[in-house]
Amino acid sequence: MAMGHDPLLNELDEARLAPLVARALGRERVALGAWRWAPLATDLYHAERTLARCTGTARAGGELVPWSLVLKIVRPPPGAGDDGWDREACAYRSGLLADLPGGLAAPRCLAVDTGADGSAWLWLEDVADRFGGRWPLAQYGRAARHLGQFNGAYLAGRQLPTDPWLVRQWTTRHSEPAKMPAAVAELATLMDDPRARQAFPAPLLAAMPRLLHDEPRFVDLLARLPQTLCHHDAARANLLARRAGRALETVALDWESLGPGTVGADLASLVCGTIRRGDFPARRAAALDRAAYAGYSHGLRDAGWAGDPDLVRLGYAAAVALRWFLLPDTLRVLTGGARAFRGRARESEARATHEFVLLSRFVLERAAEARELARRHGLLS
């Protein structure tokens, strides 16, 4: 096989692959024909991950059939300790991901192995997106409905898992209180730059330090809202649309942040994460907000949960408000301290900068909405 960036991939051979291919094809045994692997792109902040697609042909019962598998290798980051770096492997081993409620599914796991270096090897089915990755707005609403069905099942009585490897402090992971003092000081400096004042009206600039100041209040607020099980990274980059009979289901990848969370938290990931990673324009954030919120609300009702819609909207808006880091990121871009880059979006730096500004405005608007809803319900002084 060809050499690649991860030497572990060069250990792949027919003896290791043949049983996995047989399992994927539903055959007792197969004889592999020609096969190859190729690396798949992954986010830069996932330096300890390797993704590869293995493809080829196999002879089974006199028939030559094509096959493909995805291999995900996860290593503990340096000095990680027991921080749940292998959470996705634990989730698959537990069987939790094989029985997801509603229209949400995880890729079928063919095997979870442990490498000689202690890494976790996840052998997964290769799922192709029905829309080639370019979703129409209606598909976001459909995926949001499936997320609502998933979250709603646990709100309506399905037992929440209590496994020790689940993410617990999801709000802390977002709000990162240890970084707050430095961010507040940096924000004060960046806000004084004329380029920042040109991009943001004075009231919005004034709202930026307030958002950082209010982060502990949002964290406390979210802890008091209805709790469910969440994916916690349900951006479009981690979601695929697949035909399931006569309907479409949503296949969610990367279950590395799985754990309890507030109603609306997965909706915040879908809207904010999708725009941040460049799969949807921030200038159409209001349209995505409406379609996704409507779909998510329908999904909660599908699952049998009849809670207060205001609390759903509050959970969503307050979870969006945890994305305070977008504000200093945007001001750094505006003032020349960072390059504008939105994940996989193919756009000019000027366009990306404008999208950052619009997304920051969206975050500030949702924070204001969360404060108003919380006051209305007596949850925030």
pTM of the model: 0.94
pLDDT of residue 337: 79
pLDDT of residue 2: 35
Task: Check the CA dihedral 124-265-242-37 and report its sign.
Answer: negative
Q: Cα-Cα-Cα-Cα dihedral of 337, 342, 346, 351, to 10°?
A: -60
As a whole number, the mean pLDDT across the chain is 92
Residues 155 and 294 in one domain: yes
Give the per-residue SS3 of the chain. CCCCCCHHHHHCCHHHHHHHHHHHHCCCCCEEEEEEEEECCCCCCCCCEEEEEEEEEEEECCEEEEEEEEEEEECCCCCCCCCCCCHHHHHHHHCHHHCCCCCEECCCEEEEEECCCCCEEEEEECCCCCCCCCCCHHHHHHHHHHHHHHHHHHHCCCCCCCCCCCCCCHHHHHHCHHHHHHHHHHHHHHHCCHHHHHHCCHHHHHHHHHHHHHHHHHHHHHHCCCEEEECCCCCHHHEEEEEECCEEEEEECCCCCCEEEECCHHHHHHHHHHHHCCCCCHHHHHHHHHHHHHHHHHHHHHCCCCCCHHHHHHHHHHHHHCCCCHHHHHHHHHCCCCCCCCCCCCCCHHHHHHHHHHHHHHHHHHHHHHHHHHHHCCCCC
Q: pLDDT of 90-101, one tens digit each? A: 999 999 999 999
Is the separation of the CB atoms in 65 and 26 below 8 Å?
Answer: no
In angstroms, the CA 269 to CA 255 distance is 13
Q: Which residue has the higher pLDDT, 264 or 342?
A: 264
Task: Check the CA dihedral 210-213-215-217 and report its sign.
Answer: negative
Residues 230 and 356 in one domain: yes
| Domain interval for residue 256 | 137-376
**Number of structural domains in the chain:** 2
Rounded mean pLDDT of 352-356?
92
* Pairing between β-strand 104-105 and β-strand 247-252 as defined by DSSP bridges: parallel
Rounded mean pLDDT of 97-117?
94
Question: What confidence tier does 48 reach under pLDDT thresholds 50, 70, 90?
Answer: confident
Q: Is residue 1 part of a domain?
A: no
In angstroms, the CA 133 to CA 375 distance is 40
pLDDT of residue 3: 35
CATH number for 51: 3.30.200
In angstroms, the CA 133 to CA 129 distance is 6
Residues 294 and 272 in one domain: yes
Last residue of a domain, one of 83, 105, 125: 125
pLDDT of residue 70: 96
Is the model's pLDDT at 345 over the cut of 50?
yes
Question: What confidence tier does 102 reach under pLDDT thresholds 50, 70, 90?
Answer: very high
pLDDT of residue 305: 98
pLDDT of residue 141: 98
Rounded mean pLDDT of 221-247?
96
Residues 120 and 168 in one domain: no
pLDDT of residue 47: 60
Instruction: Kindly state the percentage of the chain with pLDDT values over 90.
Output: 79
Measuring CA to CA, which residue among 190, 202, 295 is closest to residue 250?
Answer: 295
pLDDT of residue 315: 98
Residues 149 and 245 in one domain: yes
pLDDT of residue 61: 85
pLDDT of residue 151: 98
Is the model's pLDDT at 80 over the cut of 90?
no
Residue with tokens 């759903």: 312
Q: Which residue has the higher pLDDT, 48 or 277?
A: 277
pLDDT of residue 347: 78
Last residue of a domain, one of 72, 94, 125: 125
pLDDT of residue 343: 74
CATH number for 217: 3.90.1200
In angstroms, the CA 70 to CA 151 distance is 27
pLDDT of residue 338: 75
Residues 172 and 28 in one domain: no
Q: Which residue has the higher pLDDT, 44 or 196?
A: 196
Beta carbons within 8 Å of 87's beta carbon, 6+ residues apart: 165, 166, 167, 255, 256, 257, 258
pLDDT of residue 319: 98
Q: Is residue 65 part of a domain?
A: yes
In angstroms, the CA 291 to CA 130 distance is 19
Last residue of a domain, one of 125, 151, 174: 125
Residues 366 and 242 in one domain: yes
Is the model's pLDDT at 6 over the cut of 50?
yes
pLDDT of residue 82: 56
